[in-house]
Each structure stands twice: as C-alpha cells, then as structure tokens.
Amino acid sequence: MTTARMRTFSSAFLDDLAIRAAATPRRRLNHNLHTANEYPCHRLFNALQADTYVQPHCHADPSKDETVVLLRGKLGLIEFTPDGQVVATQIIRPGMVVDIPHGTFHGWCCLEDDSVFFEAKAGPYAPLTPEERANFAPPEGDPRVPEYLAWLKQLCRTAE
C-alpha cells in the first residue's frame, strides 16, 4: 500500500505558480505532479505570461498524445502542416480541453498574463528531437521571435 497522500491545489497555488513564472527568464514555469521518470503518465501545471514563446513542435512518439485543460487565462492554439502552413487556429478559454494527437505540429501563444493549464501525456520525459521542432519557426532566443510571436497572436485573435 502506498504512503503517498492526496493533494489539492487551490487558486492560491495557481496564483503563486503564475507569480513564479513571471520571474523566470522564459516567462513560463511548470509544476510537475509526477516524479522525474514516472511512467506511464506525466501530469503537470504550466503557467505562462503573455510574452513567453513556445516554438511550434510535434511529439512524434505514438504514445505522446497530449491533453491540456486551461484553468485560467486565455491561449491561442495553432495547428500547422509539417512545412508550416496554418491548418487551424483557435482561442482556448478556461474549462476547455484540447487533445493533440502525436505527430501534429502545433504552437501555443499566451494571450493573457498568468494563464495556467494542466497537461497530461505519456512519460517518461524525452527532449524534443530536431525533427519534432518546427524548422519553419524560429527557435527560442532567436531575434526573429518577437515578430513571429506577434504574427501567431494576430492569427489567433482573428479566430475570436
């Protein structure tokens, strides 16, 4: 029998996570509920600020479908073809659930500070391979990121 205790996560926890995310250089922060290499399911909270950049990507591994539930804030979701053509855009609001099949190129843009989502996908953690990173989008830290991020946000706002 396990000795682990049940845990609850309050609005104050989400507030604190968002504050800590705002203080990081990447302007986002996750809080894992799983241990480092726990298998089969990783569960985590992710807090984002509106100026963070998440390079579009996919998860090629057939076990890496990704499910996200937005708890607060507002996100833009963009689906791409492997060569970077926009397939769809959508605004994600609190309470909405997104299920992203493996192999689907997608990007997130945070449209409201202190946005927080809950994510679940198969473990263990594996860094994205070069093939999973969208070569049509600038990598994190590239000087083209601000212009690209503004374009992504504009795409999503037109979906509203």
| Residue 72 maps to a domain | yes
| Residue 45 maps to a domain | yes
| Residue 79 maps to a domain | yes
Q: Return the pLDDT at 124.
A: 84
| Residue 129 maps to a domain | yes
Q: Return the pLDDT at 123.
A: 87
Q: Return the pLDDT at 1.
A: 63
Write the CATH number for 133: 2.60.120.10
CB burial of 71-99 (b: ≥16 within 10 Å; e: otherwise) equals: bbbbbbbbbbeeeeeeeebebbeeeeebe
Is 54 in contact with 46 (CB distance < 8 Å)?
Answer: no
Per cent of the chain over pLDDT 70 is 98
Q: Return the pLDDT at 2.
A: 65
Residue 138 in 3-state DSSP?
Answer: coil
| Residue 152 maps to a domain | yes
Q: In terms of residue numbers, what domain contains 72? A: 11-157
Tell me the pTM. Answer: 0.93
46, pLDDT greater than 70:
yes
| Residue 4 maps to a domain | no
| Residue 2 maps to a domain | no
| Residue 84 maps to a domain | yes
Count of structural domains within the chain: 1
Describe the chain by its helix, strand, coil percentages, rounded to 5. 15, 35, 50
Mean pLDDT of 140-152: 97
